[in-house]
């Protein structure tokens, strides 16, 4: 007896890699596609695609085989790896895991701000050298953080930084009330005017055609030479070569980078060895149990899909993110 739905899970070798997925076995045929070739082979006849690996860029090449596809659920807060013109122009619904990583990324940001303010990297280097490196360090209280990207993750970051007595300014698509998370929110066209006012710049906006290369030589030149730059969004939001120049010239004081133009970050990159840089391997949103949280969201959304109800986290494919952001 045929089942009413067919789900292709991309980025896994076994359905067992996705928690709770077996619960759908009575309602859907489940296929797995660990790579692009397998995806093209498994898509014919499928109406649902679960993109388990958020960075996979195989879908466009396999798109001609997706004739029956009606819904893609992408397991990333950003959908830049999945979104391309043919999908954007189609009637296929696209959803993401908005909300899953908010708190984790906010805590990570808070940790990075604290690390910079209290000079923890320098303290650890001094400890390794058995050096008694006494000095005065900074306070977070009263410092200004500019959060570029005011979606659900940006709001969570704003909330935690505000709770620690920082002055937090948001930058979004348009000017609006800051609510409980920001003192104010300005439109993106005011970014260059705001950069000289910030002690910390946190970049978390989605990667779209409008934001690609948002930070370059001009933006770093506008920042204070005491300012710290944090990028948790996407590497392509930043001209990495211009950032390296700014760091070497001490145009800005330092950077914490969780994302890069090429990942993994290449071993020869000078970013690895800079004393004023914190490098992490695209992990700011990941935490113990997040796979289960992603699976729970997909299963809840599948129930909506199967019953023809409105899907959660529906991405506006023209904007490239959930429209409420």
Query: Is the pTM of the predicted complex or chain greater than 0.75?
Result: yes
CA distances to 28, 155, 192, 306 from 4, in Å: 6, 39, 52, 9
The residues, any chain, with a CB within 8 Å of residue 270's CB and separated by 6 or more, are: 244, 248
Helix (H, G, I), strand (E, B) or coil at 11: coil
pLDDT of residue 135: 98
pLDDT of residue 2: 84
Q: Is 263 a catalytic residue?
A: yes
Q: Cβ distance 218 to 192 under 8 Å? A: yes
Tokens of 215: 């930070």
- Exposed/middle/buried for residue 174 (C-beta within 10 Å: 0-12, 13-18, 19+): exposed
pLDDT of residue 1: 63
Q: Is 282 a catalytic residue?
A: yes
pLDDT of residue 211: 97
Which residue among the candidates 98, 181, 186, 282 is catalytic per the annotation? 282
Which residue among the candidates 167, 186, 234, 240 is catalytic per the annotation? 234
Angle between helices 152-163 and 102-117 (to 10 degrees): 40
Quote the CA–CA distance of 107 and 284 in Å, as a whole number: 9
CB atoms within 10 A of CB 294: 21
Question: 102-279 belongs to which homologous superfamily?
Answer: NAD(P)-binding Rossmann-like Domain (3.40.50.720)
pLDDT of residue 124: 97
The CATH code of the domain at 5-100+288-322 is 3.40.50.720
Walking along the chain (325 residues) 10 residues at a time, the average pLDDT comes out as 93 98 97 98 98 96 98 97 97 98 98 98 98 98 98 97 98 93 97 98 97 98 98 98 98 98 98 98 98 98 98 97 78
146 alpha-carbon distance from chain centroid:
17
CB atoms within 10 A of CB 298: 26
Which residue among the candidates 263, 304, 309, 325 is catalytic per the annotation? 263
> For the chain, which residues make up each domain, given as ranges?
5-100+288-322, 102-279
Quote the CA–CA distance of 224 and 229 in Å, as a whole number: 10
């Amino acid at each position: 007896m045929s089942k009413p739905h067919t789900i292709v899970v991309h980025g896994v070798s076994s359905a067992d890699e996705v928690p709770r997925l077996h619960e759908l076995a009575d309602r859907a045929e489940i296929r797995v596609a660990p790579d692009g070739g397998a995806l093209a082979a498994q898509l014919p006849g499928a109406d649902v695609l679960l993109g388990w690996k958020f960075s996979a860029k195989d879908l466009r090449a396999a798109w001609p085989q997706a004739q029956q596809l009606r819904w893609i659920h992408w397991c990333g807060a950003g959908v830049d790896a999945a979104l391309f013109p043919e999908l954007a122009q189609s009637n296929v619904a696209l959803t993401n895991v908005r909300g899953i990583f908010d708190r984790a990324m906010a805590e990570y940001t808070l940790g990075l701000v604290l690390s910079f303010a209290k000079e923890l990297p320098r303290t650890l280097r001094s400890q390794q050298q058995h050096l008694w490196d006494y000095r005065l360090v900074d306070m977070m209280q009263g410092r200004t953080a500019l959060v570029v990207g005011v979606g659900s993750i940006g709001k969570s970051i704003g909330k935690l930084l505000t709770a620690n007595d920082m002055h937090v300014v948001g930058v979004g698509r348009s000017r609006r009330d800051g609510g409980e998370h920001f003192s104010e929110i300005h439109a993106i066209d005011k970014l260059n005017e705001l950069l000289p006012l910030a002690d910390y710049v946190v970049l978390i906006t989605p990667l779209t055609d409008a934001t690609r290369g948002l930070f370059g030589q001009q933006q770093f030149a506008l920042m204070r030479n005491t300012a710290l730059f944090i990028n948790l969004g996407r590497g392509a939001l930043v001209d990495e070569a211009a950032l390296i120049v700014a760091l070497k010239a001490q145009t800005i004081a330092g950077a914490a980078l969780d994302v890069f133009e090429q990942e993994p970050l290449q071993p020869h990159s000078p970013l690895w060895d800079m004393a004023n840089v914190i490098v992490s391997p695209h992990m700011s949103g990941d935490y113990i149990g997040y796979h289960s949280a992603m699976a729970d969201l997909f299963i809840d959304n599948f129930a909506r899909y199967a019953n023809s109800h409105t899907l959660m986290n529906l991405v506006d494919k023209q904007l490239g993110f959930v429209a409420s952001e």
